[in-house]
Every structure is written in C-alpha cells, then in structure tokens.
Structure 1
Amino acid sequence: MLHASRKAMYRPNKLRHVAAICAVALVFLAGGYLYQLSTISINGDFSHLGISADRPVLVYSRTDCSACSALKTLLAQQDFAVRYIELDQHPSQADLRNFSALGYQQVPVLITRKTLIVGFHQHATLLALKDI
C-alpha cells in the first residue's frame, strides 16, 4: 500500500494528464469548427447561373429535405425574390447541368451573385443576404 505522501505525488500528474487531454480536445473542436466555416460558404462570381436583380437568390433543393425546408422558412421571412429549383420535381436539363457543374450532391445549395452556401447554415445565409 502506498503512503499518503506518494498518493499526493500522483495527483498532480493525473491533473496534468487530464488538462492535456482537454486542451487537445479543445484544439480539435476549434479546428473542426473553423474548417466547417470555410467549407460552407464560397465567395465567387455566380452571376452566370441566371441570378438577376429581380431574383437575386437561387436555391437548389428537394421537396423531401428537412434542411431545405428550414432554408425556405428562413428565406420566406426575408424580402428577396428567390428562384427555387426542386431537383426531385423534373428540373430542366440546363438546371441539372448547372447543378452538376457546381460539383455538389448535397442540398440545399443557396447561391447569390457573390456567395454559394452548401447546406442550411442560418448565420452564413443571413450574411450572404446582407451583401445583395
């Protein structure tokens, strides 16, 4: 059996070990969050997709997609004309080609003249709408 002084000696090492594990976990989580922010929103010129002053927002979605429904609800609360292309409701060949050319399979995809957002991200969407 260890003496009380030896037991006390092991406690600081155990605390350092736990603190090191927590620090690594925190760095990992922060890195994942920053990577996610950089991949959900892409800046560029997307005017070639038919975005105009009359309809400054284009959304590729599906009728059976819950994230698409959440995005539609958010956009309905804003004052923008939105063109929705429902990929499961017989879109035109040109619309399918444009969506395929983007290189994404996930929906929703929200596009303004300067921003493309993949998935439903409320904060990123509201920021993109401010730039219209």
Structure 2
Amino acid sequence: MMISRFQKERKVLNSKRLDLDACKSRLKKAKTMETTTAGNSRTTGGFTVEQAEADLRVAQAEFDKQAEITKLLLEGIQSAHNSQLKCLRDFVEAQMMFYAQAHQYMADLQRELSGPNSADSLYDDTGFSSQPPPQQ
C-alpha cells in the first residue's frame, strides 16, 4: 500500500520536474527573443519574460512541494522497513530459543531412554510410571 502510494507520488514528481524543465526552456527562449527584439515590445511570441519568470516560480514551488511529499513518503517507508526488520529479528530470536529448548528436552529424553534398564526403571508392575513427570 505504502509503496504503491510512493510510486504514484514519484510519477507526479517526475511530471512536475518535466513542467519545471519546460518553464525553464520557455524563460530561456523568451530572454533570447527579448534580446533579439531589443527595444521593441517585450512580448515574444505571446510570452513575456515576466510571464515566463512567473510561470517558472510557480512550477518551482509545485516541484519543491511534490519533492517534499515524496521525500516524506520515502522516509515513512524506511521507518516501516526498520520496524518490520526489528519484528523479524525478534521472531527469529524467539524461534531459536524455542528450538534450542526443544532440542535440550529431546537430548534429556534420549539420555533417559538410553540409560541401563531404562524401561524397567520407568514403569512399575502395573505399567504406570513410578517417577513423577519432569517439571518444566
């Protein structure tokens, strides 16, 4: 969910960057046209340098805003990743402890079962264990 939102915002950021690049090109073209028509009108093919500069400021502000949104989402993904990694490490540690304890119980049981006369010492004449069950 978070990654798909980040991808969407990244596409918007790319679109804003393209808009910004187009505004920079229009400003450059307007300035070039202004110098070639020096002194005539400040209008250059329907665009004035002032209008191109205003468009550039708006495009830059939109790009900066979108860049901040994208950055915040990326930081959120990193934070979520770190949290999930911690949970995974905790789970692995718990699993290792569980299996180590199970291994120890099985090793103890194996020693009990492989001792001399283990079957005779565990059960009395009735077939029930004469020893109390192991405490955990």
Please, what TM-score do these two structures have when normalized by structure 1?
0.39
Q: Which has the higher contact order (CA 8 A, sep 6+)?
A: 1
Q: Relative to total residues, which structure has the larger helix share, 1 or 2?
A: 2
Larger radius of gyration: 2
